[in-house]
Every structure is written in structure tokens, then in C-alpha cells.
Amino acid sequence: MRSKWAFYGCFLLMVLLASFVCPPDSPRSLINNPYNMSRLHRFSDSSHFKIDSFFRRMYQSGIFNGSYLFYRNDSLIYGSMGYAAFETKDSIQPTDLFQLASVSKIFTGMAVMLLVQDGYVKISDSVHWYIPELHRRNLTIKHLLSHTSGLPDYFYFDLKAWEKPKDHMENQDVVQLLNAQLPTHFAKPGKYDYCNSNFALLSLLTERLSGIDFRRFVKTRIMNPSGMKYSHISDFDSLALHNYPVQGYDNKHRFNDNIFNGTSGDKGVYSNVFEMLALDQMLRTDYMLHTVQKNLMTTPQTIVSADAFYALGWRVKWIDGQKWVFHNGWWKGFRTYFWRCLDENKCYVVLTNHVHGPFLKTIDMVALLK
């Protein structure tokens, strides 16, 4: 019964977040059609001041340039500061879509878990069953999901082994390049070593099991049911990077497109703070992913540090006795943070597009929700 009413609550929130806007001609036109938040409560004045002051300090110091959203038990605060494009001085809007970088990995994890839920695969299955051309024979799907595969990261390969170079590398090319690496570049599976190759292979595996493009699978099975109306996985061969309103910068130097922007699974999702909140609320129901699969996804599989773990597409940490699942990201000027508390209905989303100085301190942002 609880899951039934939780679903209705999630549905109402998704209506608030998505149904009150008109389809835009471009993501930027959302400025004139904002999401309707009128039925959600406002944080207390003291909390509002505390959160707003934190981000103003970070903005003034040059560390923050982007959008933020904090949600707790039907209370909401959101805002944005800085520029979407420094050349044109276009101000960032909370509705703007950002490249999520490695926060994208949670979508890949959910995609695999949907296949598990549908009975197509088990996480104990051999990767070789589904990607037989991969020379490594000792890997399971769980190794990929938990970053314990021992594979080298394709970002650092010698591209001389790339048989058919093109503008954008694809996931199949990652397999070909992995096969060209020396045996000394591989480690024995079982030890945690964060690696983007893992999730590029999971994207390819998802395509082969589902029979459809990974971008379409995530859109139809995860984003659409969650009310993520404008979120998508980038395909810069169809929509060039320079056409996106929000660009990524390092000390105000814009990042150009590069060959690695063609792969998916490890990065590439574009979303905004409101639609990430809609995803958070959907995951608090059993409508899309069932409890068994969600619990499996967020159960620690390997130790990352003294107080942090990696599960299956999620990082896990206990703070003040509460379990938080999260992922952060960093890719070509974008730094992103998506943190969810499983013991209380609260989360925060912070999306930035300007690398300058250190990462925002996540423990400070968790404290803002106390």
C-alpha cells in the first residue's frame, strides 16, 4: 500500500515539474515556460538564507557557476548564478540543461537493472556472453557495474591502434581498443579501480540485449516514465556541441568537441535540476525499478575510502546515521553533484559549467539540508 501512495505522490510531483510547460523550440526557450512549483513549500527563511548565502559565497570565489536545487519533505529551494556562455554573457537559468558527466553512470546502472528486472540478464553473467569479441574472458556484469573489472580506461589509450578513426569514437571502438592493449595494462578483477571503460561496455551490452540504441532505451525506459521531458543523452553527430546553450569552461576557456564525446554510458546525459528531482522522486516508488533491484543497486560492493563505498552505479556513504547514495561528475568544464538520502525524503542537485578552483565540498552541501 505504501508503494501505491508513493507512486501517486511521485506522479503529482512529475506533473508539477513537467506537464505545466509547453514543448520548447529549443531547451533555452524553457526560460519563458518555467516549471510550476507553486504547490511545493518554501524552505524556512533561515534555511533559505543559509543555502543562498553558501552559493553566493562560492560564486563570488569563482568556484560555483551554475544551478542548484535542494529538496526536503515537499520543501524546495533552487537558483542559478553565472553564465551559460561567457562569450555572450547569457545568464544561466535553473531550467537549463547541463552535461551530467559521470552522474550519467546512474542511468546506465538503472538500464542494466531494468534488464535484470525483465529477466534478460543476471549481474553474475559473463560479459563475454554478450560481447564475445572482447578478449577478456574473466569479467562479469557485476565487475563492470562496481568498477572492479581491472580494465584500463579508454581515455588514456594510444589511439594508433584505432582501426577506423572518425570524428567520434563509439562504444564498439572501445572494445577494439581494449583488445589492442598489452596484457600488462589489465589488472586482476576484484579490486576497486574507477574506470570509464566499464560503463561504455555496459551501454553496448544494453543495446545488444534490448535491440535498440542505448540513447533511446534510456529515454523510453527511464526518462519518460520519470517525467524527464527534456533530458536526453547527447549525440553530437545529430546536434553539435556548440549548439547547446550551456557550454563547459575551464577558467573561462571553452572546451571544444572531442572524439570521446561519441561514447555513451559513462557520460553524455543532459538534464536540469528539476528533472533530476523528478528522477529522485520516481526512484522512491516501485513504478519503474522494483525494490529488489533498487536495493541491489545501492548495496555497497567495494570499499572506496574509509567511509565511502561503490555499489552498482551509485556511490554510498553514511552521514549522521543516514544512508546517502550519490554520484559526482567532471567532464570538459562540467562538475555535477546528485545526492539522495534513502532514510529521508531529501536530495540535492548541483550542476556547474565552469571549472575554477576545487570541487564544492559535498559534506557542506549535505549539511545545508539539516
Distance CA 151, CA 196 (A): 9
Q: 255 near 248, Cβ under 8 Å? A: yes
Per the document, the length of the chain is: 370
End-to-end CA distance of the chain: 29
Give ∠ CA 159-165-166 in degrees, rounded to 5. 130
pLDDT of residue 13: 52
Q: Provide the percentage of residues in the chain whose pLDDT is more than 70.
A: 91
Distance CA 190, CA 309 (A): 14
* pLDDT of 149 strictly over 50: yes
Q: 89 near 29, Cβ under 8 Å? A: no
> b/e map of 53-68 (b: 16 or more CB within 10 Å)?
ebbeebbeeebbbbbb
Is 95 strand, coil or helix?
coil
Q: 274 near 20, Cβ under 8 Å? A: no
Regarding predicted confidence, which is higher, 223 or 32? Answer: 223
* pLDDT of 8 strictly over 90: no
Mean of pLDDT values over 291-319: 97
Q: What domain range is 205 assigned to?
A: 2-367
Q: pLDDT digits over 75-101, tens only? A: 999 999 999 999 999 999 999 999 999
Give ∠ CA 265-267-270 in degrees, rounded to 5. 110
> What does the DSSP 8-state code read for residue 243?
G
Cα dihedral 59, 61, 65, 69 in deg (nearest 10): -50
pLDDT of residue 33: 44
Mean model confidence pLDDT for the chain: 91
* pLDDT of 180 strictly over 80: yes
* pLDDT of 25 strictly over 70: no
pLDDT of residue 12: 45
> Does the reported pTM lie above 0.85?
yes
- Percent helix, strand, coil in the chain, to 5, is 40, 20, 40
CA 195 from chain centre, in angstroms, equals 15
Pairing of strands 66-72, 346-352: antiparallel
Distance CA 226, CA 215 (A): 15
Give the residues across from 336 on adjacent strands: 329, 351
Give ∠ CA 205-228-102 in degrees, rounded to 5. 50
In the chain, how many domains are there?
1
Given pLDDT bands bounded at 50, 70 and 90, which one contains residue 34?
Answer: low
* pLDDT of 256 strictly over 80: yes
Q: Domain of 355: which CATH number?
A: 3.40.710.10
Determine how many CB atoms are found less than 10 A away from the CB of residue 71.
24
Given pLDDT bands bounded at 50, 70 and 90, which one contains residue 37?
Answer: confident
Smallest CA-to-CA distance from 369 within 51, 56, 45 is with 51
